Structure formats: C-alpha cells, structure tokens
Structure 1
Amino acid sequence: MSIHQSNIKRVTTHQLQEMKNRGEKISMLTAYDYSMARILDGAGIDVLLVGDSASNVMAGNETTLPITLDQMIYHATSVVRAINRAFVVVDVPFGSYQGSSSEALKSAIRIMKESGAHGVKMEGGAEIRKSILRVLSAGVPVMGHLGLTPQSIYKFGTYTVRAKEEEEAEKLIEDAKCLEECGCFGIVLEKIPRELAKKVSKEVSIPTIGIGAGPDVDGQVLVVHDMLGITQEFKPRFLRQYADLSGIINGAVTEYIKDIKSGDFPSDKESY
C-alpha cells in the first residue's frame, strides 16, 4: 500500500481527482458479494465497481442485458456492507435509464438510497447527456463509460476493439469532453487503441480508468473473476491473470470428496 493510500481513510471522488492530479494510478476491480468485497477492500483497492458484469459471471448470462435494477441493488448492498475504505460505484443496468432522464434519476436514487453506494456508472456519451445532468442535479456522482459499451453489444455485433477509425475516435473524444462538462467524476475507457486513450486522458481533467485501453490512462479496472482465474474460458489480450483460483478450488473440492468417500473426514478431532 502506498503512502498516499495509507493516509486515506475513505476514498472519495475528491481523492480520486487528487490521485490523477499527482500522477498516482487508481486501482479498480469489480465486486458482487460481501465476502469478496471484504477481501478486496482489505487489500487496499481504491474503487470497487458493482458491475452489470454480474449478469455474466454470477448469473451465467451471455450478455449484461438481462440483469435488473433490483438485482444490481442486491449485489451493491452486499458489497457496501463489506467495505471500510474503497469507493463503491454501481452500474445502472440496461433498460433503467435509457427511456428518459426522469427514469434515470429514479434508478440512480434507488441505487444510492437502497444500497448505500457512493456513485453510479452509465454507458454512453452525448446521447445520454440529459440523463447524466438529471442524475447529477440530485447530487449523485456519475462515472461515464465510453468505447466498447457492453449494454450496446447487439448494436456493435462484436466485442472487438472500438474507435479504430478516425470518425469514431473523434466522437469518443467529443463524448469524453461532454461527460467532463456535465460533471462526471471519471470515465471508464473500454477496449480502445492505447494512443486514443492516452489522448483522451490528456484532454480531460477527470480520471480515466482503462480496461483494454493501454497504460497511459489514470487507472485500471478488471473483472475480479477474470483476474483471479475463476472464469477460465474468457482470456482477452488485455487480461493479466494473477491467480488460478479455478484450479485451486477444483483441487480442494477433489480432496474433500476423496476424504468423504474414504471416511477420513470428519476425523475424531473434528467430531464432538
């Protein structure tokens, strides 16, 4: 843990901005449950994202689209109970903010009131400007999300790198500036060329968090199940796997089954 980190009792949007200003990288991971969030918070993570990726890794859905607002609030509430230090931001799920700015406001307020989270994340740029402004007007911190936006996967038709063409790259830069002008406290940049991510990070004053966006952003985020090797089938180029928990868990369960079958567990010491 760095000197800066040890001095922060609770991470806030102000401290995230200060980290960008002084050049300290921001660490961010997803979390969906109490037990994992407690471990991540204890390790000193700066930001925990209660991602709609729970739809994939927790529920087994093919996309993030099926997860509901109620389900997101359930996961967020579990995470918030676990943390002492990290800033908790929650994805506003597909279908709960695109309809109107008033719908976006209601969804964001429900997340904040019912889960105790510290902010929300919304996918999109200028097209959701009114919704972002409406949510911010209620005092709810908003993080933006540009590049590959998984809630729009059926529009893209592919999970390949976004904004490689000049026109899309220019729009992404304009959207990033729009999000900053609206008052967003940060922007996730997903799966875009590193040079574009570098340019965006220089042209906006708010923190940028990359996932598959290269090293020249203000912080990084990964899905915790991917980073820890719990999910085995998803191995994109940008993922660095720090553990093989799938193998460890499989080995432990195999031993457990063997000990039960042989009568070794429970032993005399493990009986009352």
Structure 2
Amino acid sequence: MGRLSIHKLKEWKAQGRRFAMITAYDYPTARLVEQAGIPIILVGDSLGSVVLGYDSTVPVTMDDIVYHTRAVVRATEKAIVVADMPFMSYQADPNEAMRNAGRLLKEGGATAVKLEGGSHIVPLVRRMVEAGIPVMGHLGLTPQSVNQFGGHKVQGKTPAAAAKLIADARALEDAGAFAVVLETIPAPLARMVTERLAIPTIGIGAGPHCDAQVQVLHDMLGIYDDRRPLKHAKRYAVLGAAIRDAVRAYIEEVEGGAFPTAEHSFEMDEATLAELAQAG
C-alpha cells in the first residue's frame, strides 16, 4: 500500500475530515505512534529540547535532523514523515537551502520538509516544490525565532499582524505548500485562515477550528513532569513517573537479590558441570 499521499490530506479537508499529527524522533516511538494509527509524523526540531537537552531548537543541526529522520522512516511504512529544516539551514542561501532539503529526502527518507516563515520564504518554497520537494509551511509563533519574539507569546493579535498572517498563509498555498502549521495564534484567526485556504491547517495552540492538530510527543506522554507544559499541550499519560517507578523497582530487586531468579537464568548440563568440577 505504501505511505499516505500528501494529496490525500487536501481531500480530507474537502471532506471535513480532521486528522492528527505528532512528533517522533526515534525508531521505537515512531513504530508505536504508527501502530496507533497516526497519519503524519513530524521529526521536529523540538528534538533539541525534548531529546537532546538544549534550551531551545536553535542548536539543532542538519545532521541531527537527518539522523533522527532515518530512524523514524525505518520504523514506519504508512505515515507521512515530515522533517523540520533547522535554524539557518535555509535562511542564508537559497542554493544551500535546496541542498539541505534534498538531504532530508535523499539521506533521511522524509516525505516532505517543514519551513518556518511567511512571505519572505515564498520564493524558496516555490523553488522547492518545483524541484519535487513537498513543503509544509509554519506560521504564527515560529520557535526558531523565539528570541526575536521575546518568548512564547500569542501572535497575530493586532489587525495588522492578523492580516499579514492571512496573507502569508495564502502566499504559501499559492507557492505550492501542501499544508501549513499555525502555532500560538488566536482561535478566531486560525478559523479565518482555515476557511480561506484549500490546503489543511494544522494547529498547535491555535484552537479547535483547524483541519488538524499537532502535539509534541513528550509533552503528551508526560515524560517530563518537572517541565511545565505550554497552555496548548494536553497530557494523555504520565509516563515519566511510570519509568522512574520501574527503574526504582529494578534497583531494589538487584540490590536485594530478588532479580535475577532462576526464571531469568540459563542452566548447564549436569555432566558438563561434573566434568568441569573434576578438571579443577
């Protein structure tokens, strides 16, 4: 059957069918989320903070994204795999941007790439699409520019900012983007954008009116219970505590001699044991 086509997403929007996207960064979690039925996996540069331990997405490199994308692609057969283009992998030089996007498809095996930005990246989006590289856009709060925004603040709140976001979304669609992420913008604005585009909008902190939603897997699973989730994140599990409890139980059993037992051990033939004993 192969992977889901990006064109199917536009059909789903036309049909009024909502869908989910989630991040994954390695083989086991990608395998699990596909088994759960997720249609799109984002190998996000959020791996910088949730996997690599950075304070932001800015330090993430192309090699990081390629490496993690490969693992996700190996784990999946049906899901669309979208790879984030990290900070400064496409902003400085259009030719370098094309090479980097090509790496994500050729070396990483990604189905598509995701770029942050509006009208200023439209020529690059058009060039990528013309070269056969599917592109997902990203507007609103763009994490790679979080220092410029002064933190995780809601975007598009003024008439001018809202109008620009709508214009940027239309420009990305006209350039050939197959979908656009809307992050941390007012729900009514997200609704306007969604109604005015033929391509799907994928919300994160953009309210319930988008065609799809995306969440960071580690936030959703409660891996970091000492990291306060942003308002738009919802925990569906508390796996961080469960993992700690499991490791503590293991430590206690090893220290107390309760693990391993005969059940977890391998026996040796009695005749062989006797021969070894006689040999001294």
- Smaller-chain TM-score bracket: over 0.9
* Structure 1: gaps of 5 or more residues: 1-7
Matched, 1:228 2:221: yes
Offset from partner CA, 1:56-100 (integer Å, 9 cap, x none) = 101111110101001100000000001111100000111110012
The residue aligned with 1:261 is: 255
**Structure 2 unpaired stretches of 5+:** 267-280
The CA distance in 1 between the partners of 2:2 and 2:126, in whole Å, is 29
Match for 1:127 among 120, 131, 140? 120
The answer for the alignment partner of 1:270 in structure 2 is: 264
Are 1:137 and 2:130 matched, yes or no?
Answer: yes
Give aligned pairs, total. Answer: 265
Correspondence for 1:112? 105
Q: Secondary structure at the match of 2:22?
A: strand
Structure-2 separation of matches of 1:158 and 1:57: 18
Over 2 Å off, 4+ runs: none
Q: Whole-Å Cα distance in 2 between the matches of residues 234 and 21 of structure 1?
A: 36
Other structure's SS at 2:180 match: strand
1:116-173 Cα distance to aligned partner (Å, 9 max, x none): 1100000001011121112112100000000000001111111011111111111000
Question: Hey, what's the Cα distance between the residues in 2 that align with 1:184 and 1:150?
Answer: 19
Quote the residue 1:246 is aligned against: 240
Q: Is the 8 A contact 1:91 1:120 kept in 2?
A: yes
Asked if the contact 1:102–1:131 (Cα under 8 Å) also holds between the matched residues in 2, the reply is no
CA contact (8 A) 2:140 2:165 kept: yes
Q: Match of 1:115, SS?
A: coil
The residue that corresponds to 2:18 in the other structure is 25
Instruction: Please state if 1:87 is matched with 2:106.
Output: no
Structure 1 Cα separation of the partners of residues 11 and 3 of structure 2: 14
- Provide the rounded CA distance (Å) in 1 between the counterparts of 2:230 and 2:143: 15
How much has 1:9 moved relative to structure 2? 5.6
Residues 148 and 190 of structure 1 are in contact (CA less than 8 Å); yes or no, is this contact kept in structure 2?
A: yes
- Asked whether the 8 Å contact 1:146–1:189 carries over to 2, the reply is yes
- Residue in structure 2 matching 1:102, options 72, 90, 95: 95
| Separation of aligned partners in 1, 2:191 and 2:77 | 32
Going from structure 1 to structure 2, the CA distance change for 1:134 and 1:9 (only over 3 Å counts) comes to: closer
Q: Give 3-state SS (helix, strand or coil) of 2:263's partner.
A: coil
Q: Does 1:198 align with 2:191?
A: yes
Report matched runs for 1:56-71 at 5 Å. Answer: 56-71=49-64
SS across alignment from 1:151: helix
TM-score w.r.t. length of structure 2: 0.93
After TM superposition, the score normalised by the length of structure 1 is 0.96
Question: 1:175-212 deviations in whole A, cap 9, x for unaligned?
Answer: 00000000000000000000000000001110000000
**Which string of whole-angstrom CA distances, capped at 9 and with x for unpartnered residues, describes residues 194-236 of structure 1?**
0000000001110000000000000000000000000221322
Residues of 1 paired with 2:208 and 2:100: CA distance?
Answer: 33
Cα RMSD of the aligned pairs, angstroms, is 0.9
Tell me, yes or no, if structure 1 residue 237 matches structure 2 residue 231: yes
Partner amino acid for 1:255? A
Deviations 1:34-69 (A, max 9, x none): 010000011100100000000110111111010100
Q: Secondary structure at the match of 1:109?
A: helix
1:3 corresponding residue in structure 2: none
